Structure 1
Amino acid sequence: MSSETRIYIEERIGRLSQMGGVTAFEYAEGKAKGVSALRVRTATGLEFWVMPGRGMDIGEATYLGKSLSWQSPTGVTNSSYFSNRGLEWLSGFHGGLLCFCGLSHAGAPCDDCGQHLGLHGPISNTPAEQVSWSEEWQGDDCIFTITGKVREASVFGPNLVLSRKITASLKGSTIAVEDTIENLGYNESPLMALYHLNFGYPLLTGKSEIFASPTKTDAATPHAQESLKQWRLFEEPTRGIEERVYFHTMKPGADGWVNTLLVSDREKKDWAVSVRYDPSTLPDFVQWKLTGVNHYVLGLEPSNCRSLGRKKERERGTLRSLKPGEKTVLRVELTVHDGAEAVAAAIKATEV
């Protein structure tokens, strides 16, 4: 497929959708009713669903028909059911490949400067506006691009706008996410951003292993501390097991980006997904490890904060902010690696 030219492909199809492309649709029933989405398919077997109705998040994702992401028991829920009190965010946490957390708050519920902040902020439950998508040939590959804006705003509060661009290609197996966040308000605003990337079975197994090069790893809780040395490894689903959260500081490679890799089976090493990100604006990396029954999931989460809430970030002196008119750009890429040779090269890329 990679060597086939545009002319060769177009001579053999009636429409690009025969090979891949972008299809718009809307969920039709249940709590998901009314959520808008865009199905993206590549000719390599990668498929993922972008959801403008849920903050431009990415829901279902598969490769050659095999799921990459964890889907929670809630399923996709319309933003009209959203509540930002305490832990009620969890009632609409569908999992999915990407559930973005922010913008003025991410992490645990807390009270900060007289304001109660619920879990992970409102952005993933906010419908996008100015949504557009395109399929454009560039040489012998066709580039799929989806853009949209999501706003977090309130009277006397923040006025932050997230402009997201998601790209993939007909011949590729990479999803690139580029987010520009701008403060359109007249006051300096806290900025917390966490990419909640959720991987599940059959990609995640009891034989899975994470390959990465942290310079420092901290456990979020005493329970996580007990198994700190096993943060890379996984077990089969276990009843009653608690979540374990780790905070990593990752070492970037020669190109300035951090490379991390989830290998499905550490014995075969023939299927994996990498998460690459730009640490200049995402200096933190949160790992959420939950190997419970019905909740068998790994969260790999590039971020500009830890997941303990805004009050803790302020106390640590690590709370980021944006001045009026200021922008920042965040970049994350996910790539599927298929076959022993491709996985071996991806493992090598994590060794810095």
Structure 2
Amino acid sequence: MPTESIVLRTTDDREQRIEWDESSPLHLTIETRVGELTIRSGVFRGGVSEGVEIIRMANSRMHVDILPTRGMSIWRMQAGGIRYQWQSPVVGPVHPNYVDVSEPSGLGWLSGFDELVARCGLESNGAPEHDASGRLVYPLHGHIANTPADAISVEFDEASGRAELVAETIEAKLFFKRLRMRTRVRIHADRDDVELLDDVTNELSTPASMQMLYHINLGSPVLGKDARLNVAVEEVAPRDDHAAEEIDRWERFDGPTSGYQERVYFAKPCADESGMAHAMIADAKGARGLSVRFKTSTLPWFVLWKNCAELDDGYVAGMEPSTNFPNPRSFEHERGRTVNLGPGETESFRVTLSPLTTAEAVQQADESIRKIREDQSIEVSTSQTPRPDWSVGVQ
């Protein structure tokens, strides 16, 4: 007789592992003047995803999946039949219990990384840093992406068609820090934008400093051979000599390439009259893309991460608005690229994601970015080599 098998679960489609809770207070259908909104709450079952909370916010055309257990990261977004995500070698979402952020190398963060949007911070957001004895001081990208949210609620306005998922996540350590991040993830019934509104407060009676970076990661099907980044910048430089090899085409992407080594570029973005910078990655045909807008008053820097590796190895590009460049924290602090917060003081960050599902939407984003360039008569200063004030270890 042939061997029979009964499958409990697989690694092929993680969504099959979600146990949706119809009895949850967050199981809502909201009728508004401009359309319907739905909110669903669930939890992943099995493997390293066991216990990870997921909240899905949706209108009639799109949905976005938020992970409260992973610092309010955005796991995936889908609009117009296009899934905005990337294929990480890490099969997630991974519960923070399985991510040893503070392992000696400082690279433990990578064991849980597969989201569309992961916040990096709050105390530090860059490369690992060790002291003179080799002890880890700051791990890669900080702790917030592996810190579960505490308070969670939903607010909505039927008149405007707006719904917000509200959460509070606390990064704290006795004698050292207490930073509270109050997050609002906002969607609307009549448009596909996803707004991230984060307020970070120093809740100690003494001054503190912080960093924040939004690691916004896009893979196939939008990213592919000859995909392009469009962003208005005043200055751009490679992070290191390896990235410098492609500085003349830093905003263009190769197809999946075996053995590709990541390249990173640092830039100073320009903002429109409302103080918002605008970046977009579009596919080679200009038929679809992802737009990112961010407030430069508190996110004054932009990082492009290019990892054009094979699909199985993590084919992905990262658009990263940030308070600083992701170097070791002490390097950035010495150059004034940390955020100082007095007792009770708050810093606010604003980022908007817009899925672009048509050629017309891509053209409109291109026009918006072109207008920023023209209004400010920008002449881009491109450094052919790493800048010593921007990159660690450069003489």
**TM-score, normalised with respect to structure 1:** 0.90
Query: What secondary structure sits across from 2:333 in the alignment?
Result: helix
For structure 1, which runs of at least 5 residues remain unmatched after alignment?
Answer: 1-14
Report the 3-state secondary structure (helix = DSSP H, G, I; strand = E; otherwise coil) of the residue aligned with 2:122: coil
Q: 1:51 aligns with which of 61, 64, 67?
A: 67
Distance 1:296 1:105 in 2: 26
Please, which of 263, 274, 293 is the counterpart of residue 244 of structure 1?
Answer: 263
Match of 2:318 in 1: 299
Aligned-residue offset at 1:221: 1.1
Match for 2:179 among 155, 160, 169? Answer: 160
| Residue aligning to 1:93 | 113
How many aligned residue pairs are there? Answer: 332
Q: Distance in 2 between matches of 1:187 and 1:93?
A: 33
Asked if the contact 1:67–1:200 (Cα under 8 Å) also holds between the matched residues in 2, the reply is no
Does 2:278 align with 1:259?
A: yes
Alignment partner, residue 207 of structure 2: 188
Deviation sequence 1:169-210 (CA, Å, 0-9, x none): 122110000000000012222211000001110011112111
The structure 2 residue matched to 1:286, chosen from 282, 295, 303, is 303
Going from structure 1 to structure 2, the CA distance change for 1:138 and 1:19 (only over 3 Å counts) comes to closer
CA contact (8 A) 1:21 1:170 kept: no
Where do 5+ consecutive residues of structure 2 fail to align?
A: 1-28, 373-395
1:39 paired with 2:76, answer: no
Q: What code does the residue aligned with 2:86 have?
A: W
Tell me, yes or no, if the aligned pair for 2:87 and 2:315 is still in contact at 8 Å.
no
Q: Which amino acid aligns with 1:263?
A: A
Residues 1:327 and 2:343 are matched in the alignment: no
User: Once the 2 structures are TM-superposed, how far is the Cα of residue 23 of structure 1 from its aligned partner?
Assistant: 0.4
Task: Verify the 8 A CA contact 2:128 2:136 in the aligned structure 1.
Answer: no
Output the CA distance in 1 between the equivalents of 2:275 and 2:113: 32
Distance in 2 between the 1:332 and 1:217 partners?
21
Instruction: Please list the CA deviations of residues 290-326 of structure 1 after superposition, one character each: whole Å capped at 9, or x if unmatched.
Output: 0001211010000101111202102323222211111
Report if the CA contact (8 A) 1:112-1:310 is conserved: no
| Matched ranges for 1:124-143 at <5 A | 124-139=145-160, 142-143=161-162
SS in 1 for 2:48: helix
Identity level (%): 31
Show the counterpart of 2:84. Answer: 68
2: CA distance, partners of 1:131 / 1:40? 14
Deviation at 1:212, TM superposition (A): 1.0
Deviation at 1:19, TM superposition (A): 5.5
- Which segment is superposed worse, 121-130 or 78-87? 78-87
Residue 97 (structure 1) shift: 1.4
Does residue 144 in structure 1 map to residue 163 in structure 2? yes
Q: Distance in 1 between matches of 2:146 and 2:124?
A: 13
CA drift at 1:340: 2.4
Alignment of 1:179-258 (within 5 A): 179-258=198-277
- Partners in 2 of 1:259 and 1:324 — Cα distance? 32
Using the size of structure 2 for normalisation, the TM-score is: 0.81
State the AA in 1 paired with 2:214: Y
Distance 2:200 2:224 in 1: 35
Partners of 2:325 and 2:272 in 1: CA distance: 22
Task: State whether residues 21 and 144 of structure 1, in contact with CA within 8 Å, keep that contact through their aligned partners in structure 2.
Answer: no
Residues in 2 aligned to 1:71 and 1:186: alpha-carbon distance in whole angstroms: 43
Q: Are 2:125 and 2:329, in contact at CA under 8 Å, matched by a contact in 1?
A: yes
CA contact (8 A) 1:194 1:301 kept: yes
SS of the equivalent of 1:21 reads: strand
Cα shift readout 1:228-287 (whole Å, capped 9, x = no counterpart)? 11111111111111000011101111221101111122xx32212110000000011111
- Aligned-partner Cα distance in 2 for 1:148–1:108: 27
